[in-house]
Structure 1
Amino acid sequence: MHLFSGYNSPYLFAISLVIFIGLLEIISLIFGSLLSGALDAHISDSDFLTTGNTGQVLHYLNIGRIPSLIVLCLLAGYFGLLGILLQHGWVTLWQTPLSNLLLAPVCLIIAGVAVHYTGRAIAPWLPTDETSAITENDFIGKMAIVTGHSASAGRPCEGKFTDEFGQTHYLLLEPEDGKAFNKGDKVLIICQISPSRYLAELNPWPNHL
């Protein structure tokens, strides 16, 4: 079996996706942001992704228990490795590749089950950005830093703050009507709009904080 044969394309693409996500996360860290934190914030803010059948699937895959990008990397990694190994075994036995129309769905289902149990196993060992030390209501009154490019009313961007326990929290921030935030602005969180979306105002005490 040749690793780069055409029948391995879907699985090589999945493994390449894992590498690409890792590079994106490194780049986002260099620029002072966290891609996984932003993605988790958007998922938790979406009713479509957190309710119904979609919400059940994401819950099964441990979205919310571990960072969503780790879930995606595990899913793509398992899918890619399973596909390559099963194709290798099939070609070894029968000297012809198995149709990916049959193999790919099987690999995806097995990968999903593997992600479910792997996520449950590694969740206690992963550092998280959020902590039970404070609740979301305690975010109000905190001073945060805008890490996204810009924000205006109805168009939030990512922000973060570090609580008194040293835990970093990522959330979506937006200003009041007629105002705007830019990257690097210090803002005061004044109320909660949705589970991960907050209304804020520019630092009212710039000479002190």
Structure 2
Amino acid sequence: MLAQLLSPPYLPFALAFVVMIGIGLIEAFGLGLGHLDLGADIDGDAHVGLLDWLGLSEDMPVLIWLTSLLACFTLVGLAIQQTAGSLAGSPLPWWMACAGAVVAAIPLNTVAANGLARVMPGFESTVVSADDLVRLRGTVLEGTARRDAPARTKVVDAHGQAHFILVEPHDASEAIAAGETVLVVRREGPVYFVLPERNTLLRSI
């Protein structure tokens, strides 16, 4: 059986099976590669519709989808070669079997991927952007924050994750000492500008 799988007519499907196992192990060990932002560079409903048609929705990790596609390609290819061997006495040339397997595997994988997406737990990200830290409170950890002399400050986001940022006072005449609580009001590049909580403007917030 192994010799048959390594023969030229079956070799593409054997390789697809090996790649499928490798990708499955990567996803199983949770290396964080499965979830990619497919919508970041996609513009237009036609592209989104194509992804939906392929079964590659926002809830489907890319590696899971690719593993499913490779499994469908492998199974269909083996079925084609086995059927050809039974009917014609020998399997098809590898390129002909691959072409047929691709044509059949894509719609089959769409059905499989849509089924997997319904049973898989939803993917939730706790990643926040730099601008999400604006309007949050933090504590100056060390140093005194002055204009053009930022101090290191700890800010905790809505997910409970701590972020350490450099802050300067919004009012150029102020100095904010270590231990003071501040409100982040804006950002310019890597530096955030803050108001100290003792500021009278914050008493009603």
Common fold: TM-score over 0.5: yes
C-alpha contact (below 8 Å) 1:71/1:119 kept by paired residues: yes
1:23 maps to: 25
1:141-180 alignment runs, 5 A limit? 141=133
Alpha carbons of 1:94 and 1:163: their partners in 2 closer, same or farther (altered >3 Å)?
farther
Match of 1:118 in 2: 112
Matched, 1:129 2:123: yes
Bigger relative contact order (CA 8 A; separation at least 6):
1
From the superposition, tell whether residues 71 and 187 of structure 1 become closer, same or farther in structure 2 (CA, over 3 Å): farther
Gapped regions of structure 2 (runs ≥ 5):
137-156, 166-187, 194-205
2:81 matched to 1:79? no
Distance 1:7 1:129, change over 3 A: same
Residue 34 of structure 2 is matched in structure 1 by 36
Segments of 5+ residues of structure 1 without an aligned counterpart are: 144-161, 167-184, 189-198, 205-209
Structure 1 residue identity aligned to 2:39: S
Whether the 8 Å CA contact 1:187–1:203 is kept in 2: the answer is: no
- Structure label with greater radius of gyration: 2
Q: Secondary structure at the match of 2:116?
A: helix
Task: Classify 1:92/1:35 alpha carbon distance in 2 versus 1 (closer, same or farther; 3 Å).
Answer: same
Counterparts of 1:116 and 1:163 in 2: how far apart (Å)?
A: 36
Q: Do the aligned partners of 2:5 and 2:11 also contact (CA within 8 Å) in 1?
A: no
Dislocated runs of 4+, deviation >6 Å? none
Contact 1:66–1:119, Cα closer than 8 Å, also in 2: yes
2-side partners of 1:84 and 1:59: how far apart? 27
Equivalence for 2:41: 46
**Greater percentage in helix:** 1
Q: How many residues align?
A: 147
TM-score between both structures, scaled by the size of structure 2: 0.56
Distance 1:201 1:34, change over 3 A: farther
The percent of aligned pairs where both chains have the same amino acid is 21
| Aligned residue number for residue 51 of structure 2 | 58
CA RMSD in angstroms, aligned pairs only: 3.9
CA deviation digits over 1:49-72, x for unaligned, max 9?
A: x64765443221222231111111
Q: Classify 1:93/1:123 alpha carbon distance in 2 versus 1 (closer, same or farther; 3 Å).
A: same
Which whole-Å deviations, capped at 9, do the CAs of 1:68-111 have from their partners, x for residues lacking one?
11111111111011101210121122222212333222211211
Question: Which letter maps to 1:141?
Answer: L
**In 1, Cα distance between equivalents of 2:95 and 2:63:** 26
Which residue identity does 1:6 align to in structure 2?
P
2: CA distance, partners of 1:53 / 1:104: 27
Cα distance between partner residues in 1 of 2:70 and 2:5: 17
Distance verdict in 2 for CA 1:91–1:126, change over 3 Å: same
For 1:111, what is the secondary structure of its paired residue? Answer: helix
- Identify the residue that residue 12 of structure 2 maps to in structure 1: 10
| Distance change in 2, residues 1:107/1:141 (3 Å) | same
Alpha-carbon distance, 1:203 to partner = 9.8
Q: Distance in 1 between matches of 2:72 and 2:55?
A: 15
